[in-house]
Amino acid sequence: EAGVTQFPSHSVIEKGQTVTLRCDPISGHDNLYWYRRVMGKEIKFLLHFVKESKQDESGMPNNRFLAERTGGTYSTLKVQPAELEDSGVYFCASSPLRLGSGANVLTFGAGSRLTVL
Amino acid sequence: GEDVEQSLFLSVREGDSSVINCTYTDSSSTYLYWYKQEPGAGLQLLTYIFSNMDMKQDQRLTVLLNKKDKHLSLRIADTQTGDSAIYFCAEKGDAGNMLTFGGGTRLMVKP
């Protein structure tokens, strides 16, 4: 079974430019999450998709960030325009949709490192 | 929001036991997790524990949960150099599926 794949693995851009990160979840996983780790700090939640719908986007820092998951398969996270403080590692994770409140075991991708100069 | 705290760094000698600690604030936590991140890799789930349990053992790993003190620990027996990585503690509340992570503890194993 293929895992969660993310592209690119590393992106270096200048302040003001646009970057789009892509995540391909495990096939059949309806839950898709974006997380971010900035400057070695905690991994912070950005948003959660269930299929193509945004279930929770309370962690999105501002309107420069736009996440989409058209068709409920892969997802993109666009940062436009990028600022210096956006630098960090962006992780994508997926999990199957389960009824009830059981353990939600997330499978993570390797992350996309974003460096904004 | 809820917080999860971990110490930044732990250094042990090969063959010793490692104990990584974590504290959290969410009194409605239902599950607590330990993830491992090796260099250049994603987060790998090591183990998780239901909040009604106080201990879970899986081979060299022992998870202890003190729900009253909101304290979670991960003990790695007979630590090997391959255990060197960053270990993240995470918790899931009773509402929604979101996990809240700590800042990670970097474990260095000296030969």
Structure confidence at residue A47 as a pLDDT band (50, 70, 90): very high
pLDDT at residue B1, rounded to an integer:
65
Contact yes or no for A95 and B102 at CB 8 A: no
Residue pairs spanning A and B at CB distance below 8 A: 60
Q: How many CB atoms lie within 10 A of CB B107?
A: 20
Shortest Cα distance from B41 to chain A (angstroms)?
5
**Is a pLDDT exceeding 80 seen at residue A105?**
yes
B102 at A interface, C-beta within 8 A: yes
Gap between the Cα atoms of A113 and B35, Å rounded: 19
At B105, the pLDDT band (50, 70, 90 cuts) reads very high
The proportion of chain A whose per-residue pLDDT surpasses 70, expressed as a percent, equals 97
Structure confidence at residue A39 (pLDDT): 81
Q: What residue of A is the nearest CA neighbor of B103?
A: A42
Instruction: Inform me whether the pLDDT recorded for B35 exceeds 70.
Output: yes
Question: Given an 8 Å threshold on Cβ–Cβ distance, is A103 in contact with B31?
Answer: yes
Torsion of CA A33, A57, B87, A1, to 10 degrees: 0
Residues of A in contact with B104 (CB under 8 A): 40, 42-43
B110: distance to nearest CA of chain A, Å?
22
Q: Left if phi > 0, otherwise alpha if psi is -120 to 50, otherwise beta: which for A94?
A: beta
Please report how many Cα atoms fall inside a 13 Å half-sphere around the Cα of residue A106, on the Cβ side. 30
Q: What percent of chain B has pLDDT over 90?
A: 81
Q: Is the pLDDT of residue B78 over 80?
A: yes
Chain A residue closest in CA terms to B106: A40
Within a 13 Å sphere around the CA of A90, how many CA atoms are in the beta-carbon half?
A: 31
Mean pLDDT score across all residues of chain B? 93
Tell me, what's the pLDDT at B34?
97
Nearest CA in chain A to B99: A45
Is residue B108's pLDDT more than 80? yes
Q: Is some CB atom of chain A closer than 8 A to the CB atom of B53? A: no
- Average pLDDT value for residue range A42-58: 93
Considering only the beta carbons, identify the residue of B4, B42, B102 that sits closest to A4.
Answer: B42
Q: Give the separation between CA A53 and CA B64, rounded to whole angstroms.
A: 37
B103 and A40: CB-CB below 8 Å?
A: yes
pLDDT over threshold 70, residue A99: no
When pLDDT is cut at 50, 70 and 90, the band that residue B97 belongs to is confident
